[in-house]
Chains A and B, each alone.
Chain A
Amino acid sequence: MEREPAEFAEFYQATRDDCLRIVLLNVGDQHLAHDLVAEAYTRAWMSWRKVRDLEVPRAWVVRTALNAHVSWWRRRRREVFLGDHDAAASGDQATLLSGDLLAALRRLPPRQREVVTLRLLLDLDTETTARVLGIAPGTVGAHLHKAVATLRAAILSPDTLEISR
């Protein structure tokens, strides 16, 4: 029991920046990303015995943060006075975060976006991704194929577009 706080702190220090950046790419707002990741780590702390035994605890944190984002949006629809909270990024980061690729990432259906996040941003292999999401490896491949086709269109500049006749 006494080891748990130290274990959690070590996990947090080792993974927090990477998780924050991945969530930020997904939501595009730095303050919101901070809140979502802090919320996810708080839940991880509360369920640490369960989370630490997972195959990829940091994947749990990222998924929890992104799911919290969905809840946040549901709540936000009922609020009318938030002002421009979404516009928190500025300067170079705003330019980056509003790019075509990330805009396309955010428009992906939730499951496709989860697969892209786990496979390409957290660099998990197909089998691990399948176990984390509780789906078949073939389903991971199918979601990834569709998502990559969508994202590919966003990263192709006019002079690299392939022309097929």
Chain B
Amino acid sequence: MNDSDTLAAVRDSLTTAKGSLAEVHMNTPADAIAREGRARRRRHTLTSLTGATAAVAGTALAITALAVPGHPASQSGSPARHPDTARLAAWTVAKQANGDITVTVRQLSNPSGLQSTLRADGVPASVTSVASPDLSCRPYPMSQVLFTSVYRAQKGTGAGTTVLTINPSALPSGAGVWLGAAFGRQAEDRGLHRVAVHRTINHTVHQPVHQVAARADNGVLRVGLVSLSQQCTGS
């Protein structure tokens, strides 16, 4: 085999390998890339204005965990729905004028109610009371940029409150949101900050999971993306 034949053989093998990845797609929308770029520009501008040390944005998937000191919220009461706002015992879901959905979390309870409310607001959603998606759900590949374009989390104004903002327009077609609550040892497992192992019958899928809120009662709220299906996200 001469050099030319060898080169052709290696090229063919690599081309075949690439061709076998035809089902692999970059699912982050262009808008999400642009939003991230704009956000970084703003951060760079702010940094240069204040003279602060630049914070290097990494490719790691973790986002800032919002440790919330104080006592668990004990708000109670039956759900009451306003034109664009649903107030429930543990959380409030509000639809903003720009289409964003804000979920103000006071207590990690009543996941089925939160799931119904999100779906009623047009967000394909699966909410579980455990740290990983339901077995009927298939994890949707998610990059950091896609993640930060769909979700934002910040500390709320009330004690023990976290505000999660969901941007439904940033969801790729075929993807829905997943929110899960974890308590006790699950919540303390640092390995789950990055990856949760979602076991199905035949194989194991590793789904990046993001801890967005931590509470004094050791509960955490995790978010991710799942593929749309009637069973999983209701549509």
If A34-B142, A152-B9 touch, does A81 touch B190 (CB 8 Å cutoff)?
yes
Beta-carbon contact of B13 and A155 below 8 Å: yes
User: Separation in Å of the A57 CB from the closest CB of chain B?
Assistant: 14
Beta-carbon contact of A8 and B59 below 8 Å: no
A133 within 8 A of partner (CB): no
User: Separation in Å of the B17 CB from the closest CB of chain A?
Assistant: 6
Which of B3, B18, B191 sits near A121, CB closer than 8 Å?
Answer: B18
Most buried by A among B3, B26, B32, B141: B26
A24 within 8 A of partner (CB): yes
Q: Considering the chains assembled together, what is the distance between the CA atoms of A137 and B193 in angstroms?
A: 46
What number of residue pairs across chains A and B have CB atoms under 8 A from each other? 152
A96 within 8 A of partner (CB): yes
Q: What size tier do the contact residues of chain B reach? A: 35 or more
B28 within 8 A of partner (CB): yes
Q: Restricting to A1-23, which residues have a CB under 8 Å from any CB of B?
A: 5, 8-9, 12-13, 16-17, 19-22
Which of B26, B32, B146, B191 sits near A19, CB closer than 8 Å?
Answer: B26
B20 within 8 A of partner (CB): yes
B208 within 8 A of partner (CB): yes
- Which residues of chain A have C-beta atoms less than 8 A from B20's C-beta? 92, 96
B24 within 8 A of partner (CB): yes
Contact with A along B1-18 (1 / 0, CB 8 A): 101001101110111011
User: Separation in Å of the A138 CB from the closest CB of chain B?
Assistant: 15
- Which residues of chain A have C-beta atoms less than 8 A from B7's C-beta? 144, 148
If A75-B60, A101-B13 touch, does A87 touch B37 (CB 8 Å cutoff)?
no
Q: Considering the chains assembled together, what is the distance between the CA atoms of A23 and B230 in angstroms?
A: 33
Interface SS of chain A: helix
User: Separation in Å of the A54 CB from the closest CB of chain B?
Assistant: 17
Beta-carbon contact of A39 and B144 below 8 Å: yes
Beta-carbon contact of A31 and B205 below 8 Å: no
Beta-carbon contact of B59 and A20 below 8 Å: no
- Which residues of chain B have C-beta atoms less than 8 A from A120's C-beta? 10-11, 14-15
Beta-carbon contact of A37 and B17 below 8 Å: no
User: Separation in Å of the A4 CB from the closest CB of chain B?
Assistant: 10
Beta-carbon contact of B206 and A20 below 8 Å: no
If A8-B34, A34-B141, A38-B143 touch, does A93 touch B24 (CB 8 Å cutoff)?
yes
Interface CB pairs A-B, < 8 A, 8: A12-B33, A16-B28, A21-B18, A25-B17, A36-B59, A38-B36, A121-B18, A151-B13
| 7 A-B pairs with the lowest CB-CB distances in the bound complex, closest first | A45-B37, A83-B191, A16-B26, A38-B145, A34-B143, A38-B143, A9-B30
Known: A38-B26, A120-B11, A148-B3. 13 other contacts (CB 8 A): A16-B26, A20-B25, A25-B18, A25-B21, A30-B141, A31-B208, A34-B146, A37-B143, A38-B33, A45-B36, A68-B59, A83-B195, A85-B61
